[in-house]
Each structure stands twice: as structure tokens, then as C-alpha cells.
Amino acid sequence: METKSAQNDYLSHTHYDKLAMPSAITRFLWNCAGADKNILLNCTYADHVKYACLGGIVFATGIMAGMAGGYAFYTIFQPKGGAIEKESLDMFTFSLSFIFGLFWGLMIFNLDRFIISSTGKGDGTDSISAKEWTNAIPRLIMGTIIALTISKPIEIRMFKTEIDNKLHEKQLELQKDYEIRTNANFQERLKVVETDLEKIYGGRQKLEERYKTVEQAYQDNMTGRANVKGGRGQIAIAQEKQMEDIKAEIQQYDKQNADKKNEAEKKRKALMSEKEIALSKNQEVAKGLDGLLERIKLAHEIAGFWISTFITLLFWAIELAPIFFKLMMIKSPYDYLDENHKAIIIARHGVQRKGYLASQPNGGKAVELEYDLYLLADKLLEEKVKLLESEMEIKRHIIEKHVEKKKLDVDNNPDKYIES
């Protein structure tokens, strides 16, 4: 009803009766700026545009924050892969990112709306005084933080191609480094097993070499190449006996070291299998190097200090522009009507503000101070006090009459009270 009445007042205004009724979009932007549309309907067109522009910046900031938050969420939780691999969009992560981006955008939009609506109009001039700067510091700090959260995801999206190429190089380097460290790690463990196997095979090899030496001498004797008469003589028979003894030693050696050999071979096989599994994970480990933090680092490395700073400053300026504009606004009809509207509400509820000069010690300059009188509350309190006082007076009179009645009853029937 109040809005409809304000619209009727606006349309029937003698000076602005030819001014078109603001559109729903304009009124929505007013709401984004935290302005009172009922007051703005009775203001100039300049005020209409001013607060619509402020609301537009706040709304656009919320949209950008939602997009940046959603992209950052998707970058963090998307399935990891090679930097330059063309992977399809993961719909589950995309759906969660959309929900998070919507929530994040609404939160930043509401926070910006609060910051702008709570920022006063300053001293009504187009300059920002030192006091206004001081009062705006908390809002400037919050705005700076919001600007950073918006600018970084957008920055890594702007340089995505360059970041992917650089990230691919780092992933290959990580794969190579991981492979070297894996081989070095297993080399130490395999060295122990290889040493045991070398001892076992080394002992058997010495026996085999002795056997080959005797066998060669036996062949030379049999063929006459050993400067003796060829054939199976006493020397050949002795050599045959020696070969049989060496064969027995080899068999005995194999029997004694069979368990050690099998255990060492089993350990070696297990280590080699474990090594292959570890090496097969190097690509998976490299794909893990695809997080938001790494991309932000590469964005700074690729773009350089000045470009990265410029992008951040751009969003910082967009975020803080409404605060600066409000502090630089010249007092307009909206401000007068807004103050008048607030004064009327305060007056209707019986609140009165008074000022006085407070003297300072040591002859200092007097300071003007203010205090509030809550007239309606004082009136209600006074009425309540008088009501309670009258009730107490009546109760005291009742008690007095009751005492008199009791005394009279005691005088007339003393025996009854004495017995009790």
C-alpha cells in the first residue's frame, strides 16, 4: 500500500508529472544499491540514474563473484588429468560448481549491498575528507578482500592456454623426477638381494669353472693334445673321478643353497613387481599437479608482476568504486528527503535529540555533545510508575481496613483468639 501510494504521489507531482514511471529493472537496481525506492520516486531523474548505476555495479560484482567462485570450485574438484589433455566436462562437478557459484555470488552480492547501504553520504561534498577516509577503512578492507577472491579465478581463466602448456612441462618434469627417485629407492633395496644372489651364484660358478678346467684336461688327454699317449689311461681315469667329485660338490652346493636362492629370487621378483607398480603411478602423481594454487602461481609467473597487479587493481577499482562514489556524492534531494523521512519516523516515536556544550578541563575548547530524549518511553514509564503507586496506595488502605476489622473482631470475641 505504501509503495502504491508513493507511486500515486509520484505520478501526481506537479513538477514531474511528465516523467515516466521507472521500469522494474531500474527499481531492482535501486534495491541493489540499498536505496529507498519510495523516496526516490519523489526525487529528480539524476538521483534515479545515480542509484541505478550504483546498484548496477553491485549486481555486476555479484555476477562476477558467482562466475569466479564456480570456476574456482570446478578447478579444485574436477577430475585430475594431463594439463593439455582435452577432457570432457564432468557434469557432477559442474552441477556442484554451479550451485556453489550461485551461493557465492548471492553472498558477495548481499555483502556488497550491505557495504554500500551502510556507507554514509559523507559530508555532502565531492571531496573525501580525512575523517571520511578513516570511517571507510573497514569497508575498504572488506572490498579489497572480495576483489582478490574475484580477480584470481578470472585471471587463471584468462591465461588458461599458457598455464596449461607450462603446467604440462612441470608435470613431465615431475614424472621424470619421480621416476629417478623411485629407481633410486628400489636400487638400494635390490642391492641387498643382488648381493646375496651374487654370493650364491659366485660359489657355484667357481665350482663350474673347476669342472670345466678338469673336463678340458680330460679331453686333451683323450685326444693326445696333452703330450701323453691318447686314450683312457690312469690320468684320464683320475680326471673322470675328479669330474664326478666336482659334480657331486655342485649338487651338494645347490642342495645346501636352494632355500637361500629361492628366497632371494622371490624377494627380487617382489621388489621388481613393486617397482613396476610404483613407476606406473608416476603419471597419476604428475596429474595431481593441477590444483588452483599451482595455477595461480603459474598465472603470476606467466603474466608477470605488472599485468597480474593491473588485473587485480581493475577488480579492486570495480569493487570499491561504489564506496568512493558515495563518499564523493554531492548532497541531493534524495539525501534531504531521506533525512526528513528518518526525522519523521523518530518524531512519531517520541525521540528527541538535544545538544549541549561540554566544557573541557584546563580551559580547553568546549565540545558540542548530543543526547537523546525518549519522550514516548518516558511518558509510558511515568504512567506505569503512577499506576503502580496508586495500586500500592489502594493495597495499603485495604490492609489498614483489614487490620481495623480484625482488631474489632478481637475486641468482640477475645476468647476465640485466646484459645487459638
In DSSP notation, 90-141 reads: -HHHHHHHHHHHHHHHHHHHHHHHHHHHHS--TTSSSS--HHHHHHHHHHHH
pLDDT for 88: 67
pLDDT, greater one: 159 or 381: 381
How does pLDDT run across 298-326, given as a tens digit for each residue? 787 887 788 888 888 888 888 787 777 77
How does pLDDT run across 151-188, given as a tens digit for each residue? 888 888 888 878 777 877 777 777 788 777 777 777 77
How does pLDDT run across 108-134, given as a tens digit for each residue? 899 888 888 877 666 666 667 777 777
pLDDT, greater one: 225 or 115: 115
C-alpha cell at 415: 476468647
pLDDT for 363: 62
pLDDT for 102: 93
CA distance 60 to 173: 41
Amino acid 258 reads A
Strands 367-374 and 351-358: antiparallel
pLDDT for 385: 92
Round the average pLDDT of the chain to a whole number and report it: 78
C-alpha distances (whole Å) from 35 to each of 51, 230, 328, 378 are 7, 124, 17, 33
Please spell the DSSP secondary structure of 196-220, one letter per residue: HHHHHHHHHHHHHHHHHHHHHHHHH
In the structure, what pLDDT confidence band is assigned to residue 4 with cuts at 50, 70 and 90? Answer: low
State mean pLDDT over 31-48. 87
Residue 63 has pLDDT above 70, yes or no: yes
% of the chain surpassing 70 pLDDT? 82
Across 94-103, 141-150, 176-185, 353-362, least confident range? 353-362
pLDDT for 1: 47
What are all long-range contacts of 201-210, with beta carbons under 8 Å and residues at least 24 apart?
A: 203/253, 203/257, 204/250, 204/253, 204/254, 204/257, 207/246, 207/249, 207/250, 207/253, 208/250, 210/246
In the structure, what pLDDT confidence band is assigned to residue 224 with cuts at 50, 70 and 90? Answer: low
